[in-house]
Structure 1
Amino acid sequence: MELEVFAIKVLQLTMDEAIEISKVIGNEHRMNILKILSTGPHNVNELSEKLGLPFSTTAVNVKKLEDANLIITELVPGRGTQKVNSKNYDRIVIDLFTDAMDKEKNVITIDMPIGEYVDCQVQPSCGLVSETDYIGMQDDPRSFYEPGRREAQLLYFRHGFVEYRYPNRIPYGKKATEIEFSMEICSEAPYHKLDWPSDITLWINEVEIGTWTCPGDFGGQRGFNTPEWWTIYFTQYGLLKHWKVNQNGSFLDGVQISGVTVSDLNLHDKPFVSLRIGVKEDAFNAGGINLFGPNFGNYEQGIIMNLRHSE
C-alpha cells in the first residue's frame, strides 16, 4: 500500500513483502545509490562516477532497484535523450503484524473512532481536530459535545478523561479470557515538547487497570498520516501502546503493571465494555493526553479492542 503524506511518499509493506525488498536493498552499492538519489536525480554515468564503480556494475544495480519499484527511470531531453533515475519513495514502513488474529474465530475486534466517546470531562488546553479543520473552538470544553466530534482525528486535553463503550459481543455461554486495547497516544504540551511526562491511566468497566507515564508530546517531524495543513510545530504523532488483561494480570506492552485480571472486569454483566482513558486529578505528572485517529499520527487506527473468549 502506498501512502501520500505531505511531501513524503511512503512505501508500506507487510512482513512478506518486506522480505523481498530487503533482498534488494541488502547491498552496499544499492543502498549508496538510494542515498545519492535522495539528493536529486542522476543518470547512470553520474552514479558510476560518484560510486567509483564500473558503468556496467552500476547499471546492474540500478536495474535491480528499478525492478523493485524503489527508483524510477525517465527519458529526459537534453544533449540527446538520456535516462535519468530518481528515488520513488522517501520512507519504507514495515507493518510488524500478521493476519493470525483475523483467523481466530474466538476473537472479537472493534476499531473505535476516537470521536465516538460517550462521556468526557476535559479541561484546557483541549480541543478536537478533524482531517481538515478544528471542530468547535480550541480550549473550550463545550466543543467536546459538538455533533462533529465523530469526525475527530485528534483530540487532546490537559486534565480529565474520555470514555468509550464498545458493544459486548461475547457469545452467550462463552467466557472472556483476554481483553486488549491498542491506541496511539502521547502527552499534551503547548505546541510539542519531547520532555513532558504525563501519567495516563486506563479503566475497563470502571476498574483501574494501571498507569503509564508517557515521556513526552512528540513533534518536530511530521507524522506519516498527519495532514499538510496541521503545522509542524504542533503535536505530530504518538506511541502505539497495547494494554492487555488476562487471567494472569494486566500488562502494558508485555510488562505487568497490576494484578487486575480479566475476571475482575465483570465483562459478562453489561451489554457494553467501557473504556476510560484519563489523567487523574492527583497525578504526579499531569501532562495531559493526545489521542490519534487513523488520519493523524503514525498509525492507521482508532482505539482497537480485541476481546478473546473461550472456544
Structure 2
Amino acid sequence: MLELSLKQPEKLRKVAHALSSDVRLKIIDLLNTGNVNINQLSEKLDIPVSTAASHIKVLEEAGLILTQLRPASRGAMKVCTRNFDDIHISLNAPKSINDYANYELEMPIGQYTDFLVSPTCGIADQGGLIIPEDEPVHFYSPVRSSAQLIWTRKGYFDYKFPLVIPSGAKVKSVQVSAEVCSEAPNYDHNWPSDITVWLNGVEIGTWTSPGDFGDRPGKLNPKAWGETTRTQYGTLKTWKVTEERATIDDVYLSNVTIQDLGILEREFLSFRIGIKEDAVHKGGMNLFGRELGDHPQDIKLKISFY
C-alpha cells in the first residue's frame, strides 16, 4: 500500500497529477491483468505510442508503476508493472499527527540465516531453478543470494534485520510484509496451508493461505516461467505489531504487543516464517522476491519510533 499525507506535499502532488488523467487511469486498470508493454497500451487505448510513453513517464515518476527493459524480437521493449494495489491518503493537518520516524529495510529472500526445509522444496531466480529440486542440502549454497522464489512443504526460514534506531527511542509499531502462498505439486488453488510468523521468537499469529496460485503468469514473471505449470504468484501479506495488538492486513491476529518483543534489547530483529509442526493445514509455503510473482518487493520491514 502507498501511504501519503500532507507531510509529503511534493509526492502527493505527483500522485494526484498522475491520477488526474482518464488515460492514465485506464493504463493502471489494464495493469490489473498483468504486465503490458507500451505498444500493447497504444493498441488497447487507441493512442499513439508517443502519447502512451508520455503517460507512462508520468506514472513512473509518481512511483505508481515500474518499467523494465526486456528482450524483444527487435531489440528491447519497455514492460510496465503496477507498483501498488492500494493508496491511502491522510489529510490530517501535519501538526495533529505524531511525528514518528520510520526505519525501513528490505531483505532478499535468499538471505536467510537459518532454515528447515523438506520436499517439495527448491530455489529459483528469474531464469529458473538454481539448485537441484527436493535436495535440502543445497539450501546452504551461496547461489541462494540470487533467489527470487523459495519453497518448502514443511519447515521455516529465519531472517535477521539489523536495527539502526537511535538510542533511547521508543518503538511504536513493527511491520513486515511479504508475498507468499501455499506449496502444492505444480499448483493448486485449493491447497490450504497454515503459515505462521514469529518476531524475536514470539509467535505473532497464523494465516491460512487458501492455495498455491498458478492460473496465470505473475505480473513480474518472464515469459519462460509464465509458460510452466509451476507456482506463478502469491498474496502480499502484512503483519503488524503495535502497542495494543498484532494484525494481519489490519485485521486482528493476536494480543501480542510491542512490549512483548523486546525490540531494543538486541541489535537485530529476527523474523521467522514457516509451518508449525502441529499445524492443521500443512500445505507448505512459497516465498517470493522482488523479481517474481505480482509484487516488486523482497521481505519488507518498517519500524515506526519516536
Which TM-score applies when normalising by structure 1?
0.72
From the CA coordinates, give the structure whose radius of gyration is larger.
1
**Post-superposition CA distance 1:124-171 (Å, at most 9, x none):** 100011222322210011111001111100000000000000002121
Partner of 2:20: 20
Per the alignment, in what secondary structure is the counterpart of residue 125 of structure 1? coil
Written as runs of structure 1 = structure 2, the 5 A alignment for 1:176-187 is: 176-187=171-182
- Structure 2 CA distance for aligned equivalents of residues 132 and 245 of structure 1: 36
Given candidates 107, 111, 127, the residue that maps to 1:132 is: 127
Question: 1:184 deviation in Å?
Answer: 0.4
The answer (yes or no) to whether the contact 1:221–1:232 under 8 Å persists in 2 is no
CA distance in 1 between counterparts of 2:188 and 2:178 reads 20
Instruction: Note the residue ranges of structure 1 that are not aligned, 5 or more in a row.
Output: 1-13, 27-36, 43-60, 72-87
2:145 alignment partner, SS class:
helix
Q: Give the drift of 1:19.
A: 1.5
2:113 to 113, 118, 121: 118
Q: May I ask how many residue pairs the two structures share in their alignment?
A: 250
Deviation at 1:24, TM superposition (A): 6.4
**Counterpart for residue 223 of structure 1:** 218
Deviations 1:61-107 (A, max 9, x none): 95699745599xxxxxxxxxxxxxxxx9998736234799xxx7610
1:93 corresponds to:
82
Distance in 1 separating the partners of 2:119 and 2:218: 24
Tell me the amino acid that sits aligned with residue 251 of structure 1: T
Higher strand proportion (structure 1 or 2) = 1
* CA pair 150-248 structure 1, distance change in 2 beyond 3 A: same
Residue 109 of structure 1 is aligned with which of 95, 104, 109?
Answer: 104
Q: CA deviation at 1:21?
A: 3.8
Structure 1 residue 229: Cα displacement: 2.6
Per the normalisation by structure 2, the TM-score is 0.73
Matches within 5 A, 1:63-102: 67-69=51-53, 93=82, 95=84, 96-97=86-87
In structure 1, what residue type is equivalent to 2:238? H
Match of 2:277 among 273, 276, 281: 281
More displaced stretch, 15-24 vs 246-255: 15-24
Q: Which residue of 2 aligns with 1:242?
A: 238
Q: 1:24 to 1:99 in 2, by over 3 A?
A: closer
The percent identity for this pair of structures is: 38
Unaligned 5+ runs, structure 2: 1-13, 27-38, 56-76, 91-98
Distance 1:295 1:91, change over 3 A: closer
Counterparts in 2 of 1:25-36, with a 5 A limit? none
Contact 1:201 1:278 in 2 (8 A): yes
For residues 229 and 68 of structure 1, do their structure 2 counterparts lie closer, same or farther at Cα, with a shift above 3 Å needed? closer
Specify the SS of the correspondent of 2:228: coil
Matches within 5 A, 1:39-54: none
